[in-house]
Structure 1
């Protein structure tokens, strides 16, 4: 007889088949299988995580507001420029991220090859800084050029998730910026256009594309942020879909060794996160999904920054090309989980 524990194991392939509309919970090493539909899988989700979904999905964090997040707002311009300076001087490419202790994650469960990857810093995730352009919790990398294209701030303090601060609020101010610079922003007022030769914010074509509904928005309709206010910019979101939950769980297990404390349960949601793209993006600086390939085009990194036969611009960045010191012992595609760790 098949062991009950074996029959309740959930592999990557199983999860992908759930997302496609059919779930097969196969016994490990067994010839028998139990076929079921999405309704059963969704019922399991509701036991512990009523917001969770099998498909990619997200929600807005407490106090989130996108109404005041214009790309030409002085606070947005200042934040993007500060992030750009950090990436250009400290983390311009994969080699510098490896040297700085960042850890890679290549999306596994969403079924799409987006062409860019997340590089996470255990140091910055574990410190007490939040929304600090000098200490980004995650750097976003184009897998073709091997160059940085933005950051993902993660609202954690000492590794624990917290309620995130706004980028800008007319009453709360701009906490992430020195007071002298904040005073200068207030004197400029909203809507001031920064002079930046590296980004053409006035491009008519880009403006037209930003006014259109994106493919991401069409597939993943989101409710309005809970505190939408034209005087507040706080575009923080969290992930409740299986791909995002698994990615955060994998980071915690592979790089923070949480399994050593007996904590192997997949969280119901991720911490609050916020992208700041330093390349042009048709959906704006804070867009949830990555920029299309044509917006990521840039000269490849001059040197990989570590010993490898692969070359930026010629070889697509992935696990196999990275040095052993930054790759986990077990990769996401080889992980299997008991169902109770996902749903119960």
Structure 2
């Protein structure tokens, strides 16, 4: 075996590994939210793939050098033990190394961080097995996330409460939510009207032309928020024809996509509005700092170089695309972190660059 060829391969693998590291550092410097969306090691990420490929090439070449050296010098002796050591020892090391890379690629950086703090209460979910569920979406079985005073964060599939009662023979059931048929019908009709009303805004250019301004970055779980200021205090709370905020994200398919709307209460109150009983899960945020097309949480007004909001009105997300989280859930699990990277540039700046 030519040692020079093996050493050249090892050096090439090291160079590929370092190039992948450099590219990954560059990507993180361009998108500060990337760390929130990536797994520990994702082979779908080209920079991570370069790191892994470079490491694998380098390791294979170094193992080849070690095998050649051991065979030339008959490491372990001429007996059966020596032959077994030379034949199986280093391949076992190689398999273990490959296994560790595979395990790292399967690791999930679970959990998520919201840039804006918010207050919430207990959350439950209901699955509607009714004909009216078609109006809310067959693909989600019209799953509504319910809350009497806000929301909590629940992972996809963790709907309902696992309660046990002992009355002779114990039984298990989901938490019961006191919702009426009228509330279910009203919620389904509201979502259907909203979908129809915002359909023209599937094209984000139309939304911006009609006055919707981007006020947050493309956040994992809750998308980018575009507000229409003339709807803010128009006396028409929870009007599906006039949503105060539209929600867009690039995390689903890599293009700006309308995924829902957000409604704002007319004033700042202690108790949230209630339109569908326990179905609509309102929330609010505190100490927000809006700078350009981004938002973050600060400790005080003095730390905000832009527009500071001590407390927002109550807010309600309504997701109009299929989601396992629920129509009225605070988060949309499919975009936390999302199959594609979030937007790096504000939508207006990105679209102007594409036009040029």
| TM-score category of the 2 structures, normalised to the smaller one | 0.3 to 0.5
Greater helix share, structure number: 2
Work out which of the two has the higher radius of gyration on C-alpha atoms and give 1 or 2.
2
